[in-house]
Amino acid sequence: MRIRNLTMTALEIPFRQTFTHAAAARTTTEAVLVRAESARGLVGMGEGCPRSYVTGETVVSALEFFSRYRADWLRLTTVDELQAWVAGHADAIDRNAAAWCAVELACLDLLGKELEQPIEVLLGGDALSGSFQYSAVLGAERFSSFEKQLHQYLSLGMTDFKIKMNGDFSADCERLAAFTAAAKPEYRLRLDANNHWQRVDDAAEYFQRLNGRFQALEEPLQVGDYEGCRALSKQCGLQIILDESFLRTDQFAFIQDDSSRWIVNIRISKMGGLMRALAVAESAAELGVSLIVGAQVGETSILTRAALAVVNRYRTIVMAQEGAFGTHLLSYDLCDPPLMFGRAGFLTDSSFYGRPGLGLSFT
């Protein structure tokens, strides 16, 4: 395969409603879109979501990174060459994870189409099969919006939930009380604190006072405070989910000695692409660390589709899957039909299973 043209553009799609958490409130997507075209006219598409508070990136820095290395990427012709570029530019990808993710996905989509293979097969796995079920994610909006969203999720029959906390004790208690009153005993709940606390004791006191039943706690302390999270886990008897604090395989060194205490949230964009995400999942499987395969707020069907490759290969250690909001959240998607959850959180469309590349139809 020869790449004839490669472009990156900023992508802003309005949300149907504002999505709020402790780090940001969003009304549009904040993403970059890469289009790769082969010499015989096939097209691959890739997406990345730069986040300054996750990987230190912005849309501007992503565009700069793309300009710096575009000439290199135009010379890539095989999966082996793509993998070699990733291995040889680890530091650059660490600093530009979302930008590289968009490039990599566009190249994989294009290579898959050229070779008539789905991306899973292209990367040595099996084609998609079975069903995929998603969690409900509730933001930190005002209570009336929270309650409305909660009942929308419940009416769909969803049973796995994540609630984003904002550190306001009365407001968080009100949300938990509403969930507890409406939920059935078998429903699962985890909380996302978005790095709100600096001190272990303050966080421990807060969560011990909360009147609710939840199984795990995501990013309660400052990014990278593994020892603090370990102490908090012991005090509260909860597993800790690492998201912003886990971007690369070398960070397993901080958690491998007590692997059952931790859950890693893999988001394809923040990991620096699908190949690096699969490498993290492989190490997690070897160490006995559970996974959540998550999503950046505002992802289109491109990143939703890419994440399925991880779930498909590592189902036995994936405890939850987030994303697939499609036009539940976006005013429009790039794909038709969009990949999105429906009844009970299950992905509603499987027509793309086995198609070359990402298998998506773009509008």
Task: Answer for the pair 222, 235: CB distance below 8 angstroms, yes or no.
Answer: no
Fold type of domain 3-116: Enolase-like; domain 1 (3.30.390)
State the DSSP code for 241.
E
Helices 97-115 and 301-313, interaxial angle, to 10°? 80
State the DSSP code for 164.
E
Residue 21 predicted with pLDDT over 80 = no
Q: How many Cβ atoms are within 10 Å of 1's Cβ, its own excluded?
A: 20
Average pLDDT on 158-179 reads 94
Residue 74 predicted with pLDDT over 70 = yes
In this predicted structure, what is the pLDDT of residue 23?
58
Assess whether the previous peptide bond of 338 is cis (omega < 30° from 0): no
Run of H or E including 212: none
pTM score: 0.95
Q: How many Cβ atoms are within 10 Å of 297's Cβ, its own excluded?
A: 21
The SS3 of residue 204 is: helix
Burial 26-49 (b: 16+ CB within 10 A, else e): beebbbbbbbbbbeeebebbbbbb
Task: Answer for the pair 35, 110: CB distance below 8 angstroms, yes or no.
Answer: no
Residue 289 predicted with pLDDT over 70 = yes
pLDDT in tens, 29-56: 899 999 999 999 999 999 999 999 899 9
In this predicted structure, what is the pLDDT of residue 97?
98
In this predicted structure, what is the pLDDT of residue 140?
81
pLDDT band at residue 226, thresholds of 50, 70 and 90?
Answer: very high
Average pLDDT on 56-77 reads 97
The SS3 of residue 129 is: coil
Q: Which residues contact 275 (CB under 8 A, 6 or more apart)?
A: 82, 83, 86, 104, 123
- CATH hierarchy code of domain 136-345: 3.20.20.120
Q: What percent of the chain has pLDDT over 70?
A: 98
Q: Which residues contact 95 (CB under 8 A, 6 or more apart)?
A: 55, 56, 57, 65
In this predicted structure, what is the pLDDT of residue 327?
95
Q: How many residues in the chain?
A: 363
In this predicted structure, what is the pLDDT of residue 239?
97
State the DSSP code for 256.
G
pLDDT in tens, 247-276: 999 999 999 999 999 999 999 999 999 999
156 class by beta-carbon count within 10 Å (0-12 exposed, 13-18 middle, 19+ buried): middle
Q: How many Cβ atoms are within 10 Å of 65's Cβ, its own excluded?
A: 24
Task: Answer for the pair 22, 309: CB distance below 8 angstroms, yes or no.
Answer: no
Number of helices (H) and strands (E), helices first, in the chain?
12, 13
Average pLDDT on 309-317 reads 98
pLDDT in tens, 95-136: 999 999 999 999 999 999 999 999 999 999 999 999 999 999
In this predicted structure, what is the pLDDT of residue 19?
62
In this predicted structure, what is the pLDDT of residue 25?
67
pLDDT in tens, 183-207: 998 999 999 999 999 999 999 999 9
Instruction: Calculate the CA 278 to chain-centre distance.
Output: 13
Domain spans, the chain:
3-116, 136-345
In this predicted structure, what is the pLDDT of residue 354?
95
pLDDT band at residue 17, thresholds of 50, 70 and 90?
Answer: confident
